Structure 1
Protein backbone atom coordinates (compact mmCIF):
# COMPACT_ATOMS: atom_id res chain seq x y z
CA UNK A 1 0.00 0.00 0.00
CA UNK A 2 3.04 2.24 0.20
CA UNK A 3 6.41 3.37 -1.12
CA UNK A 4 9.07 4.86 1.11
CA UNK A 5 12.71 5.77 1.59
CA UNK A 6 14.59 5.65 4.89
CA UNK A 7 18.03 7.24 4.95
CA UNK A 8 20.95 8.66 6.92
CA UNK A 9 22.45 12.00 5.92
CA UNK A 10 25.92 12.06 4.37
CA UNK A 11 27.41 13.53 7.56
CA UNK A 12 25.61 10.98 9.73
CA UNK A 13 23.90 13.68 11.77
CA UNK A 14 20.33 13.22 10.51
CA UNK A 15 17.94 10.35 9.82
CA UNK A 16 14.71 10.49 7.90
CA UNK A 17 11.76 8.78 6.28
CA UNK A 18 9.68 9.93 3.31
CA UNK A 19 6.57 7.94 2.44
CA UNK A 20 3.47 8.10 0.24
CA UNK A 21 0.44 5.86 -0.17
CA UNK A 22 -3.19 5.43 -1.17
CA UNK A 23 -3.94 5.21 2.54
CA UNK A 24 -5.31 7.74 5.00
CA UNK A 25 -2.63 9.47 7.10
CA UNK A 26 0.26 7.18 6.17
CA UNK A 27 2.54 9.33 8.32
CA UNK A 28 0.71 8.09 11.42
CA UNK A 29 1.64 4.48 10.64
CA UNK A 30 4.86 4.01 8.69
CA UNK A 31 7.78 6.17 9.91
CA UNK A 32 9.90 6.09 13.04
CA UNK A 33 13.25 7.73 13.75
CA UNK A 34 15.49 8.67 16.65
CA UNK A 35 18.41 11.10 16.54
CA UNK A 36 21.85 9.49 16.69
CA UNK A 37 20.20 6.06 16.38
CA UNK A 38 18.43 5.43 13.06
CA UNK A 39 15.14 5.30 11.20
CA UNK A 40 12.69 2.74 9.86
CA UNK A 41 9.53 2.33 7.81
CA UNK A 42 6.99 -0.42 8.50
CA UNK A 43 4.42 -0.97 5.74
CA UNK A 44 2.30 -3.41 3.70
CA UNK A 45 0.26 -4.98 6.53
CA UNK A 46 2.24 -2.73 8.87
CA UNK A 47 3.32 -4.01 12.26
CA UNK A 48 3.39 -0.89 14.43
CA UNK A 49 5.33 -2.82 17.05
CA UNK A 50 8.30 -2.71 14.68
CA UNK A 51 8.70 1.01 15.38
CA UNK A 52 9.63 0.95 19.10
CA UNK A 53 11.23 -2.48 18.87
CA UNK A 54 13.36 -1.54 15.87
CA UNK A 55 14.54 1.72 17.40
CA UNK A 56 15.38 -0.14 20.61
CA UNK A 57 17.52 -2.63 18.68
CA UNK A 58 19.32 0.13 16.78
CA UNK A 59 19.91 1.99 20.04
CA UNK A 60 21.86 -0.99 21.38
CA UNK A 61 24.10 -1.04 18.31
CA UNK A 62 22.41 -3.76 16.27
CA UNK A 63 22.96 -3.17 12.54
CA UNK A 64 20.18 -2.35 10.11
CA UNK A 65 20.33 -5.90 8.69
CA UNK A 66 20.35 -7.37 12.18
CA UNK A 67 17.38 -5.24 13.16
CA UNK A 68 15.38 -6.41 10.16
CA UNK A 69 16.29 -10.02 10.84
CA UNK A 70 15.35 -9.77 14.50
CA UNK A 71 12.01 -8.08 13.88
CA UNK A 72 10.77 -10.43 11.17
CA UNK A 73 12.04 -13.60 12.86
CA UNK A 74 9.84 -12.92 15.87
CA UNK A 75 6.76 -11.99 13.81
CA UNK A 76 4.34 -14.75 12.71
CA UNK A 77 2.84 -12.30 10.23
CA UNK A 78 6.17 -11.64 8.52
CA UNK A 79 4.95 -12.78 5.11
CA UNK A 80 2.66 -9.74 4.95
CA UNK A 81 5.21 -7.23 6.20
CA UNK A 82 7.53 -4.81 4.47
CA UNK A 83 10.30 -3.01 6.30
CA UNK A 84 13.18 -0.62 5.65
CA UNK A 85 15.84 0.28 8.23
CA UNK A 86 18.95 2.46 8.50
CA UNK A 87 21.28 2.63 11.47
CA UNK A 88 24.18 4.78 12.62
CA UNK A 89 26.56 3.26 10.09
CA UNK A 90 26.81 0.91 7.14
CA UNK A 91 24.21 -0.17 4.63
CA UNK A 92 20.49 0.12 5.07
CA UNK A 93 18.36 -3.02 4.93
CA UNK A 94 14.99 -3.81 3.38
CA UNK A 95 12.61 -6.75 3.66
CA UNK A 96 9.55 -7.74 1.64
CA UNK A 97 7.41 -10.68 2.79
CA UNK A 98 6.25 -13.28 0.28
CA UNK A 99 2.58 -12.31 0.72
CA UNK A 100 3.01 -8.58 0.05
CA UNK A 101 0.76 -7.52 -2.86
CA UNK A 102 2.40 -7.05 -6.28
CA UNK A 103 4.37 -5.26 -7.33
CA UNK A 104 6.47 -5.38 -4.18
CA UNK A 105 10.18 -5.16 -3.49
CA UNK A 106 13.04 -2.98 -2.35
CA UNK A 107 16.69 -2.03 -2.67
CA UNK A 108 19.27 -0.78 -0.18
CA UNK A 109 22.70 0.77 -0.10
CA UNK A 110 25.06 2.77 2.08
CA UNK A 111 22.84 4.61 4.53
CA UNK A 112 19.53 4.12 2.70
CA UNK A 113 16.75 1.67 1.95
CA UNK A 114 13.84 2.02 -0.50
CA UNK A 115 10.79 -0.24 -0.59
CA UNK A 116 7.23 -0.39 -1.85
CA UNK A 117 4.25 -2.64 -2.40
CA UNK A 118 1.08 -2.45 -4.47
CA UNK A 119 3.16 -0.45 -6.94
CA UNK A 120 2.67 0.03 -10.66
CA UNK A 121 5.98 -1.80 -11.15
CA UNK A 122 9.67 -2.02 -10.24
CA UNK A 123 10.34 1.25 -12.08
CA UNK A 124 9.00 3.08 -8.99
CA UNK A 125 11.81 1.73 -6.81
CA UNK A 126 14.39 2.23 -9.58
CA UNK A 127 13.37 5.87 -10.01
CA UNK A 128 13.58 6.52 -6.27
CA UNK A 129 17.02 4.92 -6.06
CA UNK A 130 18.35 6.89 -9.02
CA UNK A 131 16.98 10.16 -7.68
CA UNK A 132 18.42 9.57 -4.22
CA UNK A 133 21.87 8.81 -5.62
CA UNK A 134 21.79 11.73 -8.07
CA UNK A 135 20.53 14.40 -5.68
CA UNK A 136 22.70 16.38 -3.29
CA UNK A 137 22.31 19.21 -0.81
CA UNK A 138 19.63 19.53 1.85
CA UNK A 139 18.80 16.14 3.37
CA UNK A 140 15.03 16.67 3.70
CA UNK A 141 14.85 17.94 0.12
CA UNK A 142 16.74 14.84 -1.08
CA UNK A 143 14.26 12.55 0.68
CA UNK A 144 11.36 14.42 -0.87
CA UNK A 145 13.07 14.33 -4.28
CA UNK A 146 13.34 10.55 -4.12
CA UNK A 147 9.70 10.26 -3.07
CA UNK A 148 8.63 12.57 -5.89
CA UNK A 149 10.56 10.44 -8.40
CA UNK A 150 8.69 7.35 -7.27
CA UNK A 151 5.38 9.16 -7.49
CA UNK A 152 6.10 10.33 -11.03
CA UNK A 153 7.17 6.81 -12.01
CA UNK A 154 3.74 5.44 -11.09
CA UNK A 155 3.72 5.09 -7.33
CA UNK A 156 0.89 3.19 -5.66
CA UNK A 157 -1.17 1.47 -8.37
CA UNK A 158 -4.41 2.31 -6.51
CA UNK A 159 -3.76 6.06 -6.70
CA UNK A 160 -2.75 8.83 -4.29
CA UNK A 161 -3.97 9.92 -0.87
CA UNK A 162 -1.31 10.78 1.72
CA UNK A 163 2.39 11.45 2.21
CA UNK A 164 4.74 12.29 5.08
CA UNK A 165 8.28 13.42 5.82
CA UNK A 166 10.06 12.86 9.14
CA UNK A 167 13.64 14.02 9.80
CA UNK A 168 15.47 13.95 13.13
CA UNK A 169 18.81 15.40 14.21
CA UNK A 170 20.19 16.04 17.69
CA UNK A 171 18.93 19.44 18.86
CA UNK A 172 17.58 20.15 15.37
CA UNK A 173 14.01 20.97 16.41
CA UNK A 174 12.40 24.33 17.02
CA UNK A 175 14.55 26.44 19.32
CA UNK A 176 16.87 23.47 19.82
CA UNK A 177 14.30 22.05 22.22
CA UNK A 178 13.78 18.71 20.44
CA UNK A 179 15.41 16.42 17.91
CA UNK A 180 12.55 16.61 15.39
CA UNK A 181 13.89 18.71 12.54
CA UNK A 182 11.01 18.11 10.09
CA UNK A 183 7.66 16.43 10.78
CA UNK A 184 5.23 17.13 7.95
CA UNK A 185 2.14 15.16 6.97
CA UNK A 186 -0.43 15.38 4.21
CA UNK A 187 -3.17 13.06 5.44
CA UNK A 188 -5.73 13.23 2.62
CA UNK A 189 -5.06 15.04 -0.66
CA UNK A 190 -5.44 14.51 -4.40
CA UNK A 191 -1.72 15.16 -4.96
CA UNK A 192 -0.09 14.54 -1.58
CA UNK A 193 3.56 14.46 -2.66
CA UNK A 194 3.27 17.83 -4.38
CA UNK A 195 1.48 19.22 -1.33
CA UNK A 196 4.22 17.83 0.90
CA UNK A 197 6.72 19.74 -1.24
CA UNK A 198 4.78 22.95 -0.74
CA UNK A 199 4.79 22.42 3.02
CA UNK A 200 8.51 21.69 3.05
CA UNK A 201 9.17 24.95 1.18
CA UNK A 202 7.25 26.86 3.85
CA UNK A 203 9.00 24.96 6.63
CA UNK A 204 12.39 25.77 5.13
CA UNK A 205 11.53 29.46 4.80
CA UNK A 206 10.35 29.73 8.40
CA UNK A 207 12.74 27.45 10.25
CA UNK A 208 15.77 27.04 8.00
CA UNK A 209 19.05 28.80 8.70
CA UNK A 210 21.03 30.76 6.14
CA UNK A 211 24.80 30.58 6.03
CA UNK A 212 26.09 33.18 8.52
CA UNK A 213 28.25 34.54 5.70
CA UNK A 214 25.05 35.48 3.83
CA UNK A 215 23.56 37.56 6.65
CA UNK A 216 23.37 41.29 5.93
CA UNK A 217 24.46 44.03 8.33
CA UNK A 218 21.61 46.22 9.46
CA UNK A 219 23.18 49.60 8.86
CA UNK A 220 23.15 52.45 6.38
CA UNK A 221 20.61 52.35 3.58
CA UNK A 222 19.51 48.82 4.43
CA UNK A 223 18.70 49.83 8.01
CA UNK A 224 16.64 52.74 6.71
CA UNK A 225 14.77 50.49 4.30
CA UNK A 226 14.02 47.88 6.97
CA UNK A 227 12.84 50.59 9.38
CA UNK A 228 10.50 51.93 6.71
CA UNK A 229 9.13 48.50 5.89
CA UNK A 230 8.56 47.71 9.56
CA UNK A 231 6.79 51.02 10.05
CA UNK A 232 4.54 50.32 7.09
CA UNK A 233 3.78 46.88 8.57
CA UNK A 234 2.78 48.44 11.89
CA UNK A 235 6.02 47.88 13.83
CA UNK A 236 7.78 51.28 13.89
CA UNK A 237 11.19 51.00 15.54
CA UNK A 238 12.33 53.47 18.16
CA UNK A 239 15.66 55.23 17.85
CA UNK A 240 18.40 52.60 17.84
CA UNK A 241 15.82 49.87 18.40
CA UNK A 242 15.62 48.21 15.00
CA UNK A 243 16.30 44.71 16.36
CA UNK A 244 13.36 44.90 18.79
CA UNK A 245 10.91 46.02 16.10
CA UNK A 246 12.20 43.37 13.70
CA UNK A 247 11.84 40.69 16.38
CA UNK A 248 8.24 41.77 17.09
CA UNK A 249 7.34 41.55 13.41
CA UNK A 250 9.23 38.28 12.90
CA UNK A 251 7.44 36.70 15.86
CA UNK A 252 4.08 37.36 14.23
CA UNK A 253 5.35 36.03 10.89
CA UNK A 254 6.87 32.91 12.56
CA UNK A 255 10.36 33.85 11.37
CA UNK A 256 11.95 34.19 14.80
CA UNK A 257 14.30 31.26 14.20
CA UNK A 258 16.02 33.29 11.47
CA UNK A 259 16.85 36.36 13.60
CA UNK A 260 20.43 37.51 14.25
CA UNK A 261 21.14 40.67 16.32
CA UNK A 262 22.38 43.56 14.21
CA UNK A 263 21.93 41.58 11.00
CA UNK A 264 19.13 40.31 8.79
CA UNK A 265 18.67 37.01 7.01
CA UNK A 266 18.08 37.48 3.25
CA UNK A 267 15.02 35.23 3.55
CA UNK A 268 13.59 37.50 6.26
CA UNK A 269 14.35 40.57 4.17
CA UNK A 270 12.65 39.10 1.10
CA UNK A 271 9.55 38.28 3.12
CA UNK A 272 9.51 41.76 4.67
CA UNK A 273 9.69 43.27 1.19
CA UNK A 274 6.69 41.18 0.04
CA UNK A 275 3.55 43.36 -0.02
CA UNK A 276 1.48 40.62 1.63
CA UNK A 277 3.85 40.62 4.58
Structure 2
Protein backbone atom coordinates (compact mmCIF):
# COMPACT_ATOMS: atom_id res chain seq x y z
CA UNK A 1 0.00 0.00 0.00
CA UNK A 2 1.05 3.63 -0.20
CA UNK A 3 0.70 6.63 2.07
CA UNK A 4 -1.54 9.56 1.15
CA UNK A 5 1.52 11.84 1.42
CA UNK A 6 3.41 9.78 -1.13
CA UNK A 7 0.40 9.66 -3.43
CA UNK A 8 -0.04 13.44 -3.36
CA UNK A 9 3.60 13.89 -4.36
CA UNK A 10 3.25 11.95 -7.61
CA UNK A 11 -0.39 12.48 -8.58
CA UNK A 12 -1.37 15.62 -10.44
CA UNK A 13 -4.80 16.70 -11.63
CA UNK A 14 -3.32 16.73 -15.13
CA UNK A 15 -2.87 12.97 -14.80
CA UNK A 16 -6.32 11.35 -15.06
CA UNK A 17 -7.22 7.96 -13.60
CA UNK A 18 -7.42 6.23 -16.98
CA UNK A 19 -7.48 2.63 -15.78
CA UNK A 20 -8.00 0.57 -18.85
CA UNK A 21 -6.89 -2.12 -21.27
CA UNK A 22 -5.16 -1.49 -24.57
CA UNK A 23 -3.14 -3.00 -27.41
CA UNK A 24 -0.29 -1.68 -29.56
CA UNK A 25 0.33 -3.73 -32.68
CA UNK A 26 1.91 -3.94 -36.12
CA UNK A 27 0.63 -5.64 -39.27
CA UNK A 28 3.53 -7.74 -40.53
CA UNK A 29 2.15 -7.70 -44.09
CA UNK A 30 1.31 -4.03 -44.62
CA UNK A 31 3.64 -2.54 -42.01
CA UNK A 32 0.76 -0.49 -40.57
CA UNK A 33 0.94 0.20 -36.81
CA UNK A 34 -1.88 0.87 -34.40
CA UNK A 35 -3.14 1.33 -30.87
CA UNK A 36 -6.60 0.57 -29.51
CA UNK A 37 -8.10 1.06 -26.05
CA UNK A 38 -11.26 0.80 -23.92
CA UNK A 39 -11.90 2.27 -20.48
CA UNK A 40 -14.49 3.36 -17.96
CA UNK A 41 -13.35 6.93 -18.55
CA UNK A 42 -14.73 9.67 -20.77
CA UNK A 43 -12.92 10.20 -24.11
CA UNK A 44 -10.15 7.69 -23.42
CA UNK A 45 -8.71 8.11 -26.92
CA UNK A 46 -7.79 11.73 -26.23
CA UNK A 47 -5.63 10.66 -23.29
CA UNK A 48 -4.20 7.21 -24.00
CA UNK A 49 -3.51 6.79 -27.75
CA UNK A 50 -0.65 8.36 -29.71
CA UNK A 51 0.91 7.50 -33.05
CA UNK A 52 3.03 8.82 -35.89
CA UNK A 53 3.54 7.22 -39.28
CA UNK A 54 7.04 5.98 -39.87
CA UNK A 55 7.80 6.14 -36.15
CA UNK A 56 5.55 4.19 -33.79
CA UNK A 57 2.55 4.13 -31.47
CA UNK A 58 2.12 4.61 -27.73
CA UNK A 59 -0.48 3.67 -25.13
CA UNK A 60 -0.09 5.51 -21.81
CA UNK A 61 -2.59 4.60 -19.09
CA UNK A 62 -3.29 3.75 -15.43
CA UNK A 63 -2.54 6.99 -13.58
CA UNK A 64 -1.72 8.68 -16.87
CA UNK A 65 1.24 10.89 -17.58
CA UNK A 66 0.17 12.16 -21.03
CA UNK A 67 3.69 13.31 -21.91
CA UNK A 68 4.74 9.69 -22.51
CA UNK A 69 2.86 9.86 -25.81
CA UNK A 70 4.49 12.80 -27.61
CA UNK A 71 7.84 12.42 -25.84
CA UNK A 72 8.00 8.71 -26.59
CA UNK A 73 7.33 9.33 -30.28
CA UNK A 74 10.04 11.99 -30.43
CA UNK A 75 12.59 9.66 -28.83
CA UNK A 76 11.74 6.79 -31.17
CA UNK A 77 11.89 9.16 -34.15
CA UNK A 78 15.39 10.11 -33.02
CA UNK A 79 16.41 6.47 -33.33
CA UNK A 80 15.93 5.08 -29.83
CA UNK A 81 14.38 1.63 -29.56
CA UNK A 82 11.04 1.40 -27.74
CA UNK A 83 12.82 0.02 -24.67
CA UNK A 84 15.43 2.78 -24.67
CA UNK A 85 12.77 5.47 -25.11
CA UNK A 86 10.56 4.04 -22.36
CA UNK A 87 13.47 3.60 -19.95
CA UNK A 88 14.54 7.21 -20.48
CA UNK A 89 11.10 8.52 -19.58
CA UNK A 90 10.63 6.19 -16.60
CA UNK A 91 14.00 7.23 -15.17
CA UNK A 92 12.78 10.82 -14.90
CA UNK A 93 9.29 10.08 -13.57
CA UNK A 94 8.78 10.06 -9.80
CA UNK A 95 5.40 8.42 -10.36
CA UNK A 96 6.62 5.55 -12.54
CA UNK A 97 5.19 3.00 -10.11
CA UNK A 98 1.67 4.17 -11.09
CA UNK A 99 2.24 4.16 -14.86
CA UNK A 100 1.34 1.56 -17.40
CA UNK A 101 2.85 2.29 -20.80
CA UNK A 102 3.47 0.45 -24.07
CA UNK A 103 5.65 1.55 -26.98
CA UNK A 104 5.85 -0.07 -30.43
CA UNK A 105 7.94 1.01 -33.42
CA UNK A 106 7.75 0.31 -37.15
CA UNK A 107 9.95 -2.78 -36.78
CA UNK A 108 7.40 -4.34 -34.46
CA UNK A 109 9.68 -3.96 -31.43
CA UNK A 110 7.79 -3.39 -28.20
CA UNK A 111 8.46 -2.17 -24.68
CA UNK A 112 5.97 -2.32 -21.84
CA UNK A 113 5.92 -1.10 -18.25
CA UNK A 114 3.38 -1.99 -15.58
CA UNK A 115 4.24 -0.04 -12.43
CA UNK A 116 4.37 -1.83 -9.10
CA UNK A 117 1.57 0.35 -7.70
CA UNK A 118 -0.87 -0.02 -10.61
CA UNK A 119 -4.25 -1.05 -9.21
CA UNK A 120 -4.89 -4.79 -9.39
CA UNK A 121 -5.61 -6.68 -11.43
CA UNK A 122 -2.81 -5.31 -13.62
CA UNK A 123 -0.38 -6.87 -16.06
CA UNK A 124 0.81 -7.09 -19.65
CA UNK A 125 1.90 -9.61 -22.24
CA UNK A 126 4.15 -9.10 -25.23
CA UNK A 127 4.16 -11.08 -28.45
CA UNK A 128 5.52 -10.82 -31.97
CA UNK A 129 4.58 -7.36 -33.26
CA UNK A 130 2.30 -6.50 -30.33
CA UNK A 131 1.84 -5.83 -26.63
CA UNK A 132 -1.36 -5.92 -24.59
CA UNK A 133 -1.71 -4.29 -21.18
CA UNK A 134 -4.44 -3.78 -18.61
CA UNK A 135 -4.97 -2.45 -15.11
CA UNK A 136 -7.85 -2.26 -12.63
CA UNK A 137 -9.40 -5.29 -14.29
CA UNK A 138 -11.95 -7.50 -12.57
CA UNK A 139 -9.89 -10.59 -13.42
CA UNK A 140 -6.19 -11.24 -14.04
CA UNK A 141 -7.00 -13.19 -17.20
CA UNK A 142 -7.62 -10.13 -19.37
CA UNK A 143 -4.20 -9.57 -20.96
CA UNK A 144 -3.65 -13.25 -21.78
CA UNK A 145 -7.07 -13.41 -23.42
CA UNK A 146 -6.26 -10.29 -25.43
CA UNK A 147 -2.95 -11.74 -26.59
CA UNK A 148 -4.57 -15.01 -27.61
CA UNK A 149 -7.31 -13.23 -29.57
CA UNK A 150 -4.86 -11.04 -31.47
CA UNK A 151 -2.63 -13.98 -32.37
CA UNK A 152 -5.35 -16.32 -33.62
CA UNK A 153 -7.65 -13.81 -35.37
CA UNK A 154 -7.37 -13.57 -39.16
CA UNK A 155 -7.99 -10.31 -40.98
CA UNK A 156 -6.85 -6.72 -41.07
CA UNK A 157 -4.92 -5.05 -38.28
CA UNK A 158 -8.06 -3.22 -37.14
CA UNK A 159 -10.06 -6.45 -37.04
CA UNK A 160 -7.38 -8.24 -35.01
CA UNK A 161 -7.09 -5.33 -32.56
CA UNK A 162 -10.86 -5.23 -32.17
CA UNK A 163 -10.80 -8.96 -31.42
CA UNK A 164 -8.35 -8.25 -28.59
CA UNK A 165 -10.67 -5.61 -27.12
CA UNK A 166 -13.61 -8.02 -27.36
CA UNK A 167 -11.59 -10.70 -25.62
CA UNK A 168 -10.94 -8.32 -22.72
CA UNK A 169 -14.67 -7.72 -22.40
CA UNK A 170 -15.14 -11.48 -22.50
CA UNK A 171 -13.06 -11.63 -19.30
CA UNK A 172 -15.27 -8.88 -17.73
CA UNK A 173 -12.75 -6.11 -18.50
CA UNK A 174 -12.51 -2.98 -16.34
CA UNK A 175 -13.80 -3.58 -12.81
CA UNK A 176 -15.78 -0.32 -13.02
CA UNK A 177 -17.48 -1.15 -16.32
CA UNK A 178 -17.11 0.54 -19.70
CA UNK A 179 -17.56 3.99 -21.22
CA UNK A 180 -15.27 4.90 -24.11
CA UNK A 181 -13.00 3.32 -26.72
CA UNK A 182 -10.67 4.35 -29.53
CA UNK A 183 -8.50 3.01 -32.33
CA UNK A 184 -5.69 4.77 -34.18
CA UNK A 185 -3.83 3.19 -37.11
CA UNK A 186 -1.06 4.92 -39.08
CA UNK A 187 1.18 3.85 -41.93
CA UNK A 188 4.46 2.15 -41.19
CA UNK A 189 6.13 4.37 -43.75
CA UNK A 190 5.37 8.09 -43.75
CA UNK A 191 4.29 9.58 -47.07
CA UNK A 192 5.50 13.08 -46.28
CA UNK A 193 1.87 14.22 -46.23
CA UNK A 194 0.49 13.92 -42.70
CA UNK A 195 -3.09 13.88 -43.94
CA UNK A 196 -2.39 10.69 -45.89
CA UNK A 197 -0.59 8.91 -43.07
CA UNK A 198 -3.59 8.17 -40.83
CA UNK A 199 -5.44 5.06 -41.94
CA UNK A 200 -8.04 4.98 -39.18
CA UNK A 201 -8.76 7.31 -36.26
CA UNK A 202 -12.05 6.50 -34.54
CA UNK A 203 -13.29 7.37 -31.07
CA UNK A 204 -16.30 6.48 -28.98
CA UNK A 205 -16.38 9.12 -26.27
CA UNK A 206 -19.31 7.96 -24.13
CA UNK A 207 -21.36 4.84 -24.71
CA UNK A 208 -22.89 1.98 -22.75
CA UNK A 209 -21.13 -0.52 -25.03
CA UNK A 210 -18.12 1.33 -26.46
CA UNK A 211 -16.42 -1.69 -28.05
CA UNK A 212 -19.61 -2.61 -29.90
CA UNK A 213 -20.01 0.99 -31.02
CA UNK A 214 -16.38 1.09 -32.14
CA UNK A 215 -17.02 -2.02 -34.23
CA UNK A 216 -20.01 -0.30 -35.86
CA UNK A 217 -17.91 2.77 -36.70
CA UNK A 218 -15.17 0.55 -38.12
CA UNK A 219 -17.74 -1.07 -40.40
CA UNK A 220 -18.88 2.35 -41.65
CA UNK A 221 -15.26 3.38 -42.10
CA UNK A 222 -14.69 0.31 -44.27
CA UNK A 223 -17.79 1.13 -46.32
CA UNK A 224 -16.62 4.67 -47.00
CA UNK A 225 -13.21 3.33 -47.94
CA UNK A 226 -14.92 1.28 -50.64
CA UNK A 227 -16.74 4.46 -51.74
CA UNK A 228 -13.51 6.43 -52.00
CA UNK A 229 -11.86 3.67 -54.01
CA UNK A 230 -14.94 3.53 -56.22
CA UNK A 231 -14.68 7.26 -56.91
CA UNK A 232 -11.03 6.80 -57.84
CA UNK A 233 -11.91 3.96 -60.22
CA UNK A 234 -14.53 6.20 -61.85
CA UNK A 235 -11.94 8.93 -62.30
CA UNK A 236 -9.71 6.37 -64.01
CA UNK A 237 -12.56 5.34 -66.31
CA UNK A 238 -12.97 1.83 -64.89
CA UNK A 239 -16.74 1.79 -64.39
CA UNK A 240 -16.96 -1.97 -63.76
CA UNK A 241 -14.42 -1.80 -60.94
CA UNK A 242 -16.13 1.30 -59.55
CA UNK A 243 -19.53 -0.38 -59.53
CA UNK A 244 -18.14 -3.42 -57.72
CA UNK A 245 -16.58 -1.18 -55.06
CA UNK A 246 -19.74 0.91 -54.63
CA UNK A 247 -21.83 -2.21 -54.21
CA UNK A 248 -19.41 -3.54 -51.58
CA UNK A 249 -19.90 -0.29 -49.67
CA UNK A 250 -23.67 -0.57 -49.85
CA UNK A 251 -23.58 -4.16 -48.59
CA UNK A 252 -21.91 -2.91 -45.42
CA UNK A 253 -24.19 0.12 -44.99
CA UNK A 254 -27.37 -0.55 -47.03
CA UNK A 255 -29.53 2.03 -45.29
CA UNK A 256 -27.20 4.92 -46.13
CA UNK A 257 -28.83 7.11 -48.79
CA UNK A 258 -25.68 9.09 -49.47
CA UNK A 259 -23.74 6.03 -50.59
CA UNK A 260 -26.56 5.13 -52.95
CA UNK A 261 -26.74 8.72 -54.20
CA UNK A 262 -23.09 9.21 -55.14
CA UNK A 263 -23.06 5.82 -56.76
CA UNK A 264 -25.98 6.93 -58.94
CA UNK A 265 -24.34 10.30 -59.71
CA UNK A 266 -21.25 8.50 -60.92
CA UNK A 267 -23.43 6.30 -63.08
CA UNK A 268 -24.92 9.46 -64.64
CA UNK A 269 -21.47 10.89 -65.27
CA UNK A 270 -20.58 7.61 -66.96
CA UNK A 271 -23.75 7.84 -69.11
CA UNK A 272 -25.30 4.77 -67.51
CA UNK A 273 -28.67 6.52 -67.26
CA UNK A 274 -30.95 3.48 -67.17
CA UNK A 275 -29.07 2.07 -64.21
CA UNK A 276 -28.96 5.39 -62.36
CA UNK A 277 -32.60 6.47 -62.73
CA UNK A 278 -34.33 3.85 -60.52
CA UNK A 279 -31.76 4.40 -57.77
CA UNK A 280 -32.30 8.16 -57.84
CA UNK A 281 -36.07 7.77 -58.00
CA UNK A 282 -36.01 5.71 -54.81
CA UNK A 283 -33.72 8.23 -53.07
CA UNK A 284 -35.84 11.24 -54.11
CA UNK A 285 -38.96 9.52 -52.83
CA UNK A 286 -37.38 9.17 -49.40
CA UNK A 287 -35.86 12.66 -49.29
CA UNK A 288 -36.52 15.28 -51.97
CA UNK A 289 -33.53 17.37 -50.88
CA UNK A 290 -31.31 15.01 -52.88
CA UNK A 291 -33.13 16.14 -56.04
CA UNK A 292 -32.42 19.77 -55.20
CA UNK A 293 -28.77 18.89 -54.67
CA UNK A 294 -28.58 17.15 -58.05
CA UNK A 295 -29.35 20.36 -59.95
CA UNK A 296 -26.70 22.18 -57.94
CA UNK A 297 -24.11 19.58 -58.87
CA UNK A 298 -24.56 20.49 -62.53
CA UNK A 299 -23.84 24.14 -61.74
CA UNK A 300 -20.68 23.10 -59.92
CA UNK A 301 -19.71 20.77 -62.80
CA UNK A 302 -19.60 17.76 -60.51
CA UNK A 303 -22.38 16.28 -62.62
CA UNK A 304 -21.82 16.63 -66.36
CA UNK A 305 -24.97 15.74 -68.30
CA UNK A 306 -27.07 17.44 -70.97
CA UNK A 307 -29.99 19.72 -70.13
CA UNK A 308 -32.34 17.13 -71.58
CA UNK A 309 -30.95 14.38 -69.38
CA UNK A 310 -31.06 16.62 -66.30
CA UNK A 311 -34.72 17.32 -67.03
CA UNK A 312 -35.41 13.58 -67.05
CA UNK A 313 -33.69 13.22 -63.68
CA UNK A 314 -35.68 16.12 -62.22
CA UNK A 315 -38.94 14.36 -63.24
CA UNK A 316 -38.08 11.14 -61.42
The TM-score bracket by the shorter chain reads: 0.7 to 0.9
In the TM superposition, 1:147-166 aligns within 5 A as 147-166=165-184
Secondary structure of the residue aligned to 1:41 is strand
- RMSD between superposed Cα atoms in Å: 3.1
1:149-169 alpha-carbon deviations (Å, 9 max, x no partner): 111221101111111111112
**Change beyond 3 A, Cα 1:152–1:34:** same
Corresponding position: 1:36 with 2:95 = no
Which of 74, 77, 98 is matched with 2:116 structurally? Answer: 98
**Change beyond 3 A, Cα 1:8–1:223:** farther
Secondary structure of the residue aligned to 1:29 is helix
Instruction: Pick the structure with more helix per residue.
Output: 2
Secondary structure of the residue aligned to 2:199 is strand
Counterparts of 2:134 and 2:28, CA distance in 1: 23
In the TM superposition, 1:1-277 aligns within 5 A as 1-11=19-29, 13-169=31-187, 177-208=195-226, 215-216=242-243, 224-233=274-283, 234=291, 235=294, 244=303
Counterparts of 1:3 and 1:163, CA distance in 2: 10
Task: Report how far residue 84 of structure 1 moved.
Answer: 0.8
Task: Report how far residue 13 of structure 1 moved.
Answer: 3.0
TM-score by length of 1: 0.77
Where does structure 1 lack aligned partners over 5 or more consecutive residues?
Answer: 237-242, 247-277
Counterparts of 2:278 and 2:43, CA distance in 1: 44
TM-score by length of 2: 0.68
Counterparts of 1:176 and 1:78, CA distance in 2: 32
Cα contact 2:26–2:108 (8 A) shared by 1: no
Secondary structure of the residue aligned to 2:176 is coil
**Change beyond 3 A, Cα 1:195–1:90:** closer
Where does structure 2 lack aligned partners over 5 or more consecutive residues?
Answer: 1-18, 234-239, 245-266, 284-290, 296-301, 306-316
Secondary structure of the residue aligned to 1:178 is helix
Task: Report how far residue 178 of structure 1 moved.
Answer: 3.3
1:98-147 alpha-carbon deviations (Å, 9 max, x no partner): 00000001011222111010012221111110110011222112211211
Rg larger for: 2
